[in-house]
């Protein structure tokens, strides 16, 4: 009996040893480690996408800011350019990638997938409205490559229209922005193809401002002039951060999906320098170091509309060949170049919340231009020019950002 037990033990030990020395070499199981790798890669790609949206948006804002109220939508611009980028090749593709802030190891498919992911993530819910729409317009009988059209539909959910009449384009823009932006193309403009993005946001604060507390208060402009502006007020626990350069507060919208960050440079600091030096790292540093603090907040109401033609600015940032005879958009159609980039925004910030809209239109034609070179409660009194970011809390992607130097509410 003892010998039998000993033999069984030896047999069991031998089988166990063999199994340990050969861990599924012939039939490895990829399911065990793939999800972790996939998750890590997705996080890296999402971070790169978020960084590039902030990078490009901040560069545009810095160029367009002329010491007046300036509001842009980095996400709207990026989504419009991401569609165009899928058809870029050669030098044009390289310049676009560098200007948009994408690393060389992030391919077009990854960018398209991330664009799709962010659009699926940023949607309306029971608490707020957030709508993103894309469209591809082509002149009747104008031939665009089927692969490009399919890509726009698959990754950007783009509506495809076989018409480029400005009246119809403007009607689409008005519908997608809930009539906050009614015109993006002037009558009579000749268009071979256009790619357009529209974003609309409407959200109420988690903690509203009391209208009875809103009164005209002093605001010091860049010219050091004191003007009276309608200023909201509340005193409560809020996510707050300060350092030697600025104060920052986060104001949450219902649903806790989107938040507004308000940055107020210290009195001895320049708003111009703040805008110039703002980065994704700075934004993440502030957002990570927020602490709930008993805070007195004075914040001006403001409503503003902005309109930009960005061709010159984008060229200065490095995207040069896309606008002339060197343009290579063979992935869309032959002999195509960008002729106009139009960006419009609207924002209304008041006691109840915020309503905002943005449109980016990239107009393309086949007529190539000639090549040319170019404790006690802390107090945050927003009574001087300030900077703001309307951001997605999950991805940290800036949906809107801007500088307010002279708040107006009419």
pLDDT > 70 fraction of the chain, expressed in percent and rounded: 87
* Nearest-angstrom CA–CA distance, 345 and 57: 13
Averaged pLDDT, 374-400: 88
Domain 211-302+376-404 is found in CATH 2.30.39.10:
yes
**Euclidean distance between the first and the last CA atom of the chain, given in angstroms as a whole number:** 99
Q: Which residue has the higher pLDDT, 43 or 115?
A: 115
Q: Which residue has the higher pLDDT, 10 or 181?
A: 181
Determine whether 127 is exposed, middle or buried from the number of CB atoms within 10 Å of its CB (0-12, 13-18, 19+): middle
pLDDT at 3: 42
- Domain 45-204+303-365, CATH among 1.10.1040.10, 1.10.10.10, 3.10.129.10, 3.30.497.10: 3.30.497.10
**What digits encode the pLDDT tens for the residues 303-357?**
999 999 999 999 999 999 999 989 999 999 988 999 999 999 999 999 999 999 9
pLDDT band at 28 (very low <50, low <70, confident <90, very high): very low
Residue 91 has pLDDT above 70, yes or no: yes
With H, G, I as helix, E, B as strand and everything else as coil, classify residue 265.
strand
Averaged pLDDT, 101-112: 89
How many residues can be counted in the chain? 410
Among 105-109, 266-270, 357-361, the range with the most confident prediction by mean pLDDT is 357-361
Mean pLDDT is lowest, of 17-21, 41-45, 146-150, for: 17-21
pLDDT at 370: 57
The CA angle 290-295-299, to the nearest 5 degrees, is 95
* Nearest-angstrom CA–CA distance, 396 and 256: 13
Give the rounded distance of the alpha carbon of 93 from its chain centre: 21
**What digits encode the pLDDT tens for the residues 200-251?**
999 999 999 999 999 999 999 999 999 999 999 999 999 999 999 999 999 9
Give the rounded distance of the alpha carbon of 295 from its chain centre: 29
**Could you say which DSSP state residue 165 is in?**
-
pLDDT band at 23 (very low <50, low <70, confident <90, very high): very low
Q: Which residues pair with 391 in a beta bridge?
A: 259, 398
pLDDT at 338: 96
Q: Among all chains, which residue has been given the structure tokens 């007020």?
A: 233
Residue 39 has pLDDT above 50, yes or no: no
Q: Among all chains, which residue has been given the structure tokens 């009558």?
A: 187
pLDDT at 44: 61
Q: Domains of the chain: which residue ranges?
A: 45-204+303-365, 211-302+376-404
Residue pair 393/256 in contact (Cβ under 8 Å)? The answer is: yes
* Nearest-angstrom CA–CA distance, 57 and 36: 32
pLDDT at 41: 54
Q: Supply the Cα-derived Rg of the chain in whole angstroms.
A: 26
**What digits encode the pLDDT tens for the residues 263-306?**
999 998 999 999 999 988 999 999 999 999 999 999 999 999 99
Instruction: Of 406, 395, 399, 404, give the one whose Cα is nearest residue 42.
Output: 395
Residue 37 has pLDDT above 60, yes or no: no
pLDDT at 14: 38
pLDDT band at 164 (very low <50, low <70, confident <90, very high): very high
With H, G, I as helix, E, B as strand and everything else as coil, classify residue 326.
coil
What residues contact residue 268 under an 8 Å CB cut-off, 6+ apart? none
The β-bridge relationship of strands 159-161 and 128-138 is parallel
**What digits encode the pLDDT tens for the residues 125-151?**
999 999 999 999 999 889 899 999 999
pLDDT band at 376 (very low <50, low <70, confident <90, very high): confident
Residue 9 has pLDDT above 50, yes or no: no
Total Cβ atoms within 10 A of residue 309 = 10
* Nearest-angstrom CA–CA distance, 146 and 93: 19
pLDDT at 42: 59
Cα distances from 287 to residues 54, 74, 283, 297, 376, in angstroms, run 14, 18, 6, 18, 22
- Please state the φ and ψ torsions of residue 257, each to the nearest 5 degrees: -95, -40
């Amino acid at each position: 009996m003892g010998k039998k037990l000993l033999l069984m033990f030896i047999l069991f030990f031998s089988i166990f040893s063999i199994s340990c020395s050969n861990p599924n070499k012939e039939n490895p199981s990829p399911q065990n480690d793939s999800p972790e790798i996939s998750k890590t890669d997705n996080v890296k790609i999402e971070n790169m996408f978020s960084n590039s949206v902030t990078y490009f948006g901040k560069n545009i804002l810095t160029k367009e800011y002329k010491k007046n109220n300036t509001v842009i939508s980095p996400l709207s611009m990026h989504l419009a350019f991401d569609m165009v980028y899928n058809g870029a090749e050669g030098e044009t593709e390289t310049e676009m990638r560098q200007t948009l802030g994408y690393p060389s190891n992030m391919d077009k498919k990854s960018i398209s997938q991330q664009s799709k992911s962010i659009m699926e993530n940023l949607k309306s819910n029971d608490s707020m409205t957030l709508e993103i729409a894309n469209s591809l317009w082509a002149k009747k009988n104008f031939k665009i490559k089927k692969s490009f059209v399919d890509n726009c539909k698959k990754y950007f959910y783009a509506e495809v229209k076989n018409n480029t009449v400005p009246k119809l384009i403007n009607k689409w823009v008005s519908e997608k922005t809930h009539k906050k932006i009614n015109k993006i193309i002037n009558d009579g403009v000749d268009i071979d193809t256009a790619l357009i993005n529209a974003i609309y946001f409407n959200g109420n604060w988690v903690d509203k401002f009391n209208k009875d507390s809103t009164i005209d208060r002093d605001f010091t402009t860049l010219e050091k002039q004191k003007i009276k502006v309608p200023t909201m007020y509340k005193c409560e626990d809020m996510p707050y951060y300060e350092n030697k350069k600025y104060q920052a507060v986060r104001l949450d919208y219902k649903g806790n999906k989107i938040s507004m960050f308000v940055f107020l440079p210290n009195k001895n600091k320049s708003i111009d320098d703040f805008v110039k030096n703002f980065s994704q790292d700075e934004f993440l540093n502030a957002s990570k170091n927020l602490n709930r603090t008993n805070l007195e907040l004075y914040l001006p109401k403001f409503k503003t509309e902005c309109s930009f033609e960005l061709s010159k600015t984008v060229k200065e940032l490095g995207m040069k060949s896309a606008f002339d005879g060197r343009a290579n958009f063979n992935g869309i159609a032959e002999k195509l170049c960008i002729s106009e980039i139009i960006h419009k925004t609207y924002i209304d910030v008041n006691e109840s919340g915020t309503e905002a809209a943005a449109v980016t239109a990239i107009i393309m034609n086949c007529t190539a231009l000639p090549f040319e070179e170019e404790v006690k409660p802390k107090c945050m009194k927003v009574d001087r020019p300030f900077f703001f970011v309307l951001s997605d809390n999950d991805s940290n992607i800036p949906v809107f950002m801007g500088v307010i130097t002279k708040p107006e509410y009419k």
